Structure 1
Amino acid sequence: MEISTIEIEKAATILKLLGDKTRLTMLKMLETHDYCVCEFVEIFKVSQPAISQHVRKLKDAGLVREMRRGQWIIYSMNKDSDVFPFVQSLIHHLPNQDFKLQELEAQGLRISCD
């Protein structure tokens, strides 16, 4: 595996962005599943505008991409980003967050966008 390097300035920006617990958790969650904003609202128990701000910051940094499915906008990790290897190496050390999705499904709150 080829190790890519990024500029210190860019690394600092990414680290500052991921210094927020919610954004860091979102990114870890997006490592294994795609999510809709409304699912993040239920999981994090914060307002839709607050979640949208977090997602927008991740998207602006190129870490997250969006795809429209009908009325829903689904967010996924941008694995084509030049900083993806850096971010992946960071979140690799974090505990799996799939239990949050399983709790959402158990409550019947998982969005079906098909």
Structure 2
Amino acid sequence: MGIHLTEVENAAVVLKLLGDKTRLMIVKLLENNTCCVCEFVEIFQASQPSVSQHLRKLKDAGIVTEERRGQWNFYSLNRDYDYYSLVEQILKQLPNQDHKFKELEENGTRISCC
């Protein structure tokens, strides 16, 4: 039996979302970490609304999950996502980005919202 069209369409949605370099980097950073919006604002030197918009798109698709802790929202990679294996294969092609968090720690801006 061949691939169902909906499977191709769903894979295309994932690829389109991860075709944006900021969203791709967010997902790569979430591969080994749980992060708050403020950390991404620091890493990308972008506005909070801009980062939140990227996270919303990833969350709406199911690629990331959101957990509220007090007044802050923390994001992590959704390993139960139907197309997680596709996301995982894409992430394997990218270099590790955990050094970005080390830089935040050195700058004193790791989880600055907490």
User: Gapped runs of 5+ residues in structure 2?
Assistant: none
Q: Give distance in 2, aligned partners of 1:112 and 1:40.
A: 11
Do the aligned residues in 1 keep the contact of 2:37 with 2:74 (CA within 8 Å)? yes
Do the aligned residues in 2 keep the contact of 1:67 with 1:74 (CA within 8 Å)? yes
SS in 2 for 1:76: strand
User: Is residue 2:61 matched to residue 1:64?
Assistant: no
Q: CA deviation at 1:105?
A: 0.6
User: Is residue 2:8 matched to residue 1:8?
Assistant: yes
Partner of 1:37: 37
Q: Which residue type is aligned with residue 97 of structure 1?
A: Q
Partner of 1:76: 76
**Could you give the per-residue CA deviations for residues 21-65 of structure 1, whole angstroms, max 9, x where no partner exists?**
000000001000010001100100010000000000000110000
Q: CA deviation at 1:113?
A: 7.1
Q: Give distance in 2, aligned partners of 1:69 and 1:92.
A: 30
| Matched length | 110
Partner of 1:110: 110
Seen in structure 2, the aligned counterparts of structure 1 residues 60 and 49 have a Cα distance that, compared at 3 Å, is same
Partner of 2:99: 99
Give me the TM-score of the superposition, normalised by structure 1.
0.91
Q: Give distance in 2, aligned partners of 1:95 and 1:111.
A: 23
Structure 1 moving runs of 4+ over 6 Å: none
Of stretches 6-15 and 27-36 in structure 1, the one that deviates more from structure 2 is: 6-15
SS in 2 for 1:73: strand
Do the aligned residues in 1 keep the contact of 2:72 with 2:113 (CA within 8 Å)? yes
Give me the TM-score of the superposition, normalised by structure 2.
0.91
Do the aligned residues in 1 keep the contact of 2:66 with 2:73 (CA within 8 Å)? yes
**Could you give the per-residue CA deviations for residues 55-96 of structure 1, whole angstroms, max 9, x where no partner exists?**
000001100001111221100001111011111111111100
Do the aligned residues in 2 keep the contact of 1:69 with 1:113 (CA within 8 Å)? no
User: Gapped runs of 5+ residues in structure 1?
Assistant: none
Q: Which residue type is aligned with residue 31 of structure 1?
A: E
CA RMSD of aligned residues (A): 1.7
